[in-house]
Amino acid sequence: RNIHISAAEPAEKFGGERQQDASEFAGWLLDQLHTDLNYSRARGPLMKLTASQEAVRREQPAIQSSWMEWQRFCYANGSVIKRTFFGQNSITITCPHCGYIQKTWDPWGQITIPIQNTPKGEASLQNLLTDIHAKPSTLEGYRCDQCKQVGPTTLQKISRCPDILILVLGRNEWNGHEHLKKKTVVRFPLDGLSLDPYFISLDGRESERLDDSFLAPFTYDCYVIIEHFGDNPKAGHYVALVKELDARNGKDKWFM
């Protein structure tokens, strides 16, 4: 089916004539395509696991439980969009008081990377990914489901890597009065970005049922960059840089 905008609703379906965020538009577009291409939409989501089923899943290797949770997600989300663009996070919540472990899973269509201002004014993409997927953090105000004590920690790791990876640099900052744009320079490799360090442990086990999205190595080459020019998030201009194969010499070439 085609996405049709009639003359009676010129720009309102896209948010009016206001400036829009490129990553939000990409997410909206992928959701629209998924809705139209989802051949499993009539099924509806599966029922939540029982307490006994949750207990069994906590004892399973992380890679196995992650694969099973992805199958549950795909039960009502069967489209090429989800298979191609969507990954999954495995979130482990550990109570330091009683040792109770809780696992949850979160599917995503893009990884949003918060950017912090640094003394040198620059940061590496790998270090920013490490801050998200390799360092435990404390859940403020969260109470353990078992002992009801405050202070469990959470560790988020990637548990499924998509064929096409979308990374969003979160440059929007609210200072209490207005939205500002963080100017930190983020350095990243154009080829050979590995997500292996941020992936869950295979626990020495691999199931023959797993597809490539669960089996390392996970290496990505960059072929599209969307840059925003402007001093604040509410104004400016977007420019797309796209890498294509030059048919004349068989080499990659970047176009603006």
At 211, the pLDDT band (50, 70, 90 cuts) reads confident
> pLDDT digits over 220-237, tens only?
999 999 999 888 877 888
Query: Which pairing describes strands 185-187 and 122-124: parallel, antiparallel, or unpaired?
Result: parallel
How remote is the C-alpha of 24 from its chain's centroid?
13
Ranges assigned E (strand) in 97-223 = 101-108, 111-114, 122-124, 137-138, 153-160, 167-170, 172-174, 179-181, 185-187, 193-194, 219-220
> pLDDT digits over 117-140, tens only?
788 889 999 999 999 998 888 888
> pLDDT digits over 63-74, tens only?
888 998 999 999
Q: Give CA separation, 106 vs 90, 128, 160, in Å.
A: 7, 20, 10
Which residues lie closer than 8 Å to 49 by C-beta, 6 or more apart? Answer: 57
0.75 exceeded by pTM: yes
| Bond into 217 cis (ω within 30) | yes
> pLDDT digits over 162-175, tens only?
999 999 999 888 88
